[in-house]
């Protein structure tokens, strides 16, 4: 019921915009920033942001935006960021996560990492075949630059974020599994993206695990290698 109630909060279009905006940023968001992005008054944005906090979709932190402390530094600002965890609703109830965890546990115990990566790479190629053309290379389904790659990854739910010349992903579609079986699932994720980006000119995907981020990054390949 909690997941249903939380998702129901997003029925309001403004709340959906605010939630999407906060989740898309690489930093905590102030009420002023959220209000400006949504094109509404600060008090209205604050009301809806706090509703999202009550629903468990966002969480808050307090920090002085001036960077100063002590007398005269001003009051700490209330900042918002996406809450960890995930929300899902299945009617009637289904439990695919337990099945996935059991399969991952079995694959890890049986040493099936290589077989899983091969299957993931094939699935990545199949997913790429269903994508609209966006490439500049000979393969009409292959992305040709990081901008194309970012749009492709966004459609797959990775939430790419430009960090200099590197694309980092704020969301891992396999987060719950990767926490329990990191080598197995991160290897699978890497292979899936390798298949998805196969044929792309001048880009490569590699493992670069950081807390709070997807374990993979996409970057320009040196001399079109890798």
**Options 1.20.1110.10, 1.10.645.10, 1.10.10.10, 2.60.40.150; which CATH number does 2-82 get?**
1.10.10.10
3-class DSSP state for residue 48? helix
Contacts of 91 (CB under 8 A, 6+ apart): none
Q: How far is CA 70 from CA 54, 77, 111, 145, 163, in A?
A: 31, 15, 56, 47, 33
Judge whether residue 224 has pLDDT over 80.
no
Note the pLDDT of residue 132. 59
Q: What is the pLDDT of residues 133-154, one digit of tens each?
A: 555 444 444 455 788 899 999 9
Percent of the chain with pLDDT over 70: 88
Contacts of 223 (CB under 8 A, 6+ apart): none
Ramachandran area for residue 8 (φ above 0: left; ψ -120 to 50: alpha; else beta) = alpha
Domain boundaries defined on the chain: 2-82, 96-224
Topology of the domain comprising 96-224: Muramoyl-pentapeptide Carboxypeptidase; domain 2 (3.30.1380)
Q: What is the pLDDT of residues 152-211, one digit of tens each?
A: 999 999 999 988 889 999 999 999 899 999 999 999 999 999 999 998 888 999 999 988
pTM of the model: 0.78
């Amino acid at each position: 019921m909690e997941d249903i109630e939380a998702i129901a909060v997003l029925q309001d279009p403004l709340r959906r915009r605010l939630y999407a905006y906060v989740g898309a940023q690489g930093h905590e968001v102030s009420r002023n920033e959220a209000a400006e992005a949504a094109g509404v008054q600060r008090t209205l944005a604050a009301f809806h942001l706090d509703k999202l906090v009550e629903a468990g979709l966002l969480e808050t932190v307090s920090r002085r935006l001036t960077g100063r402390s002590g007398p005269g530094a001003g009051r700490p600002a209330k900042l918002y960021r996406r809450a960890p965890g995930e929300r899902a609703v299945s009617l009637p109830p289904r439990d695919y996560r337990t099945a996935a965890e059991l399969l991952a546990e079995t694959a890890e115990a049986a040493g099936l990492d290589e077989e899983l990566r091969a299957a993931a790479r094939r699935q990545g190629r199949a997913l790429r075949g269903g994508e609209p053309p966006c490439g500049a290379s000979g393969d009409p389904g292959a992305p040709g630059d990081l901008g194309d790659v970012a749009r492709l990854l966004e459609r797959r739910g990775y939430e790419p974020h430009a960090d200099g010349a590197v694309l980092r992903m704020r969301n891992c579609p396999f987060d719950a599994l990767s926490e329990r079986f990191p080598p197995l699932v991160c290897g699978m994720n890497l292979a899936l993206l390798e298949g998805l980006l196969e044929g792309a000119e001048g880009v490569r995907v590699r493992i670069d695990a950081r807390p709070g981020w997807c374990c993979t990054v996409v970057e320009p390949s040196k001399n079109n290698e890798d």
